[in-house]
Every structure is written in structure tokens, then in C-alpha cells.
Structure 1
Amino acid sequence: MSLLQQLTSDMVSAMKNRDKETLDVVRMLKAAVQNEQIELGHDLSANEEIAVMAREYKQRKESLEEFEKAGREDLINQAKNELAIVEKYMPKQLSKDEVTKIVKEVIDELNASSMKNFGQVMGSVMPKVQGQADGKLVNQVVKEQLSK
């Protein structure tokens, strides 16, 4: 089942269950996928679907951080609930140890030895972890490994 079909099915379920919050989030996600399809002019591949979901997840995560800084408890709870709903459509997230392992493999492949190789390492790691790890985490791990 494609992501779009899954979203449509979940939207119908949310309507039947009168779950307004889930319905709103699923509608936004479905719209984001459809907009991406229109923009690209073709049905999305699995990787493109993951990229859309990762973008939506990142937006909500950044909003949550801003709400926490501002002390907006009402919006914090809403953002956390939205994040939980978006997470259902994301692939399993890699742990820091798993990301570190991938980064070490890439560093060995590229014979990278210093921060001069940072861009090259990031460029090789990101496609491997697309949608499965946050870019900030990957950035942090690459810096740690290259500064050893």
C-alpha cells in the first residue's frame, strides 16, 4: 500500500472515529504528498515519500522547540501529538550507535581524516540515512568522528 493510500485510509478512519486532531494532521500530510506529486509531475517513489514525511516531521519538531522556548504549554501538547501522528508514517529511526557505525564505515571508505573532509562525509552519509536519522544527529556524529 502506498503512502497516499495509507493516508486516505487513515483519514477515513479518523473521520469515522470523530478524531479531529488526527484527521487534521493526516489531511496536512496527504496534502503535502499530493503537492509534491504535482510539483514533480509523477507518482512519488518510496524515497520521495520518506523525504516528504521527514520534512513534515522536521517542521513539527522545530515548532515544538520554539513553543518550548516560549513556554506555550497549550501549543507544546498539540505539537507533541502531531509529532506522534507523523512518526507513524516514518521509517524506524536509527539510534546514535547505528548512525555512528554508518559514519565510521563512510569515513573508512573515503579515507577521511580531518574536518576538511566533513562535506564529503556528510554527502555520502545522508543518502544512506535519509528519513531514518535527523540531520543534526548525523552532523554531530560526523564532527565527533572526524575530530578524533
Structure 2
Amino acid sequence: MKDFEERIQQDLVDALKRGDDKAVNVLRMLKASVQNKKVEKGKDSCLGESDYVALLRQMIKQRREAAEQYEGVGAKDRAEAERLEIGILEKYLPEQLSEEEILRMAQETIEEIRAQSSSDIGKVMGKLMPKIRGKADGAAVRSVVEKLLKQN
């Protein structure tokens, strides 16, 4: 997907022109991660949308964990810097499903497989995640599924 990489490059050039050092650093890290992923897959491999989404989610997850750790030790400025990076990275994710959409899809899946209790979470998630992969955070989806199954 050249569009993704072209968008990163164009945004990097724009950030350089604006003098936005934070965005420049994040976009350079993102470009490097994309290159590393390409090398990892092999020289003739192309990255697909799912590869880019997985890479972005991994980078965002790392920053969320770092922000939590910084807050835990009282380094609020460092935690805020991590959250700023998350905001920059999230712009490259596909449009995310709303909570209502996740709730609706989860309810449909629960009804479809006739899930009864929290012991069915794995079955529900296995059926639901392929439909929404890349469009919602897996932890958020799991939380919705758990709530719905507790209500049943």
C-alpha cells in the first residue's frame, strides 16, 4: 500500500516545514518501523492494510503502557508526551467503529452463536474480531462482549 507510505512521507515533509519536532520524530519512527516490517517480511513482500494497522496498534499500545508507567512514577510531562505521540499515530488508523456499532455487532454475534455466559467469550471474540479487525481495539471489544454476556 504505497498510499499509506506516501501519506506518511507527505505528512513528514509538512511537519518539517511547520517546524513540528514532535510530529517529525513520530513520523520518522513510523517510517523506520514500516521499513523494518518490510525487511522482516522479505524483500519482495508488500505490506497490506492489516500489516500497517497491526504495526500502528503495536506502537500505540507501547506508548499507552509507557504513559501509564510515567504517570505511576509522577512524570506527568513524559506521560503527556506519550499521549501526544498516540494522537499523531491514531490519525493513520482506519476510521474506528463507534461504541454503539461495536455493541450492536457484539450483540448480533452473541445471538448468532447463542452465547450464554462469560465462558463463551472466546467463541464470541473468535467470530466477531475478523469482522472488525483494524476498526476497533480488541480490548475495548472484549470489554463490551464481557458486559453483554454478564447481562444475559
Compute the TM-score of the two structures, normalised by the length of structure 2: 0.87
Which residue in the other structure is 2:35 paired with?
34
Residue among 119, 131, 135 paired with 2:134: 131
User: 1:73/1:120 Cα in 2 relative to 1: closer, same or farther (>3 Å)?
Assistant: same
Superimposed CA distance per residue, residues 64-94 of structure 1 (whole angstroms, 9 cap, x where no aligned partner): 2222222212202211211111111112222
Secondary structure of the equivalent of 2:116? Answer: coil
Which residue in the other structure is 1:78 paired with?
81
Q: Is the 8 A contact 1:14 1:23 kept in 2?
A: yes
How many aligned residue pairs are there? 148
Would you say 1:112 and 2:115 are equivalent positions? yes
Q: Is the 8 A contact 1:51 1:130 kept in 2?
A: no
Q: Distance in 2 between matches of 1:68 and 1:95?
A: 28
Report % sequence identity.
38
Q: Distance in 1 between matches of 2:41 and 2:25?
A: 24
* Bigger Cα displacement from structure 2, 25-34 vs 59-68: 59-68
Superimposed CA distance per residue, residues 1-50 of structure 1 (whole angstroms, 9 cap, x where no aligned partner): 62111111111222222221111000111111221122122111112211
Which residue in the other structure is 1:87 paired with?
90
Which residue in the other structure is 2:19 paired with?
18
Q: Distance in 1 between matches of 2:72 and 2:138?
A: 21
Which residue in the other structure is 2:52 paired with?
49
User: 1:132/1:64 Cα in 2 relative to 1: closer, same or farther (>3 Å)?
Assistant: farther
Q: Distance in 1 between matches of 2:18 and 2:62?
A: 27
Compute the TM-score of the two structures, normalised by the length of structure 1: 0.89
Q: CA deviation at 1:119?
A: 0.9
Secondary structure of the equivalent of 2:19? Answer: coil
Q: Is the 8 A contact 1:110 1:121 kept in 2?
A: yes
Ranges in structure 1 where 5+ consecutive residues have no aligned partner: none
Ranges in structure 2 where 5+ consecutive residues have no aligned partner: none
- Cα RMSD, aligned residues only: 1.6
Residue among 42, 66, 70 paired with 1:63: 66
